[in-house]
Structure 1
Amino acid sequence: GNAPQVMHADDLARVAPTWADLVEFGEDNAVIKKVFGWVRDMYAFDFALASVGIEVHYPPVPFNKLMVQPPADVRLGAASFMHYTWSPILSDKTGATRWRFDKRQF
């Protein structure tokens, strides 16, 4: 799930306590650490949203005005930035790698 991007302050105030509780629970629970790994805080956010009844409206690419996630999304569409979730690799016409980024290395 996508971490909080753009939301109303009142919704953030409503979800934040539950989100914080779930993050703390995940940090203290070996099973959650194993199952969800380093993205457990993002999942905690999604679970907290559901718990307090906040719905997320996230239009698909090319209609999403916020972000794309290459290479899962193959075009920019209306998005204003890219989120490098999937370790993109940019290659030239010969297939040689010209640029790559994997945030999990940092």
Structure 2
Amino acid sequence: MIIQINTDKNISGEKRTEDFFTSQIEEALKRFESHITRIEVHLKDENGKKDGFNDISCLIEARLEGRQPIAVTNQAETMDLALTGAIHKIKTAVESILGKLKKH
């Protein structure tokens, strides 16, 4: 499973932050890693450098083997909260898709 993290110009993409986020994603999706080929994360600050309510947006796109990519988005006040919420949503979506495939 390849994980790529992208940030906009208003969010610093420090190596240590990327490593932490990558480890969180790997841990959350570990049991699905044989089905997921790639994860792309897009973090952006919706209103630039100004503080604001839920202005950090995190989009996670998961590419499953032999299926169309699925994407979820989450907004929060911090990068950590935005990513955590998006990870929860993508995990739920992948569980749902793979659960339906097992039933058939």
TM-score bracket, shorter-length normalisation: under 0.3
TM-score (norm 2): 0.27
Which of the pair has the greater relative contact order for Cα pairs under 8 Å at 6+ separation?
2
TM-score (norm 1): 0.27
Structure with greater strand percent: 2
Q: Which has the higher Rg, Structure 1 or Structure 2?
A: 1
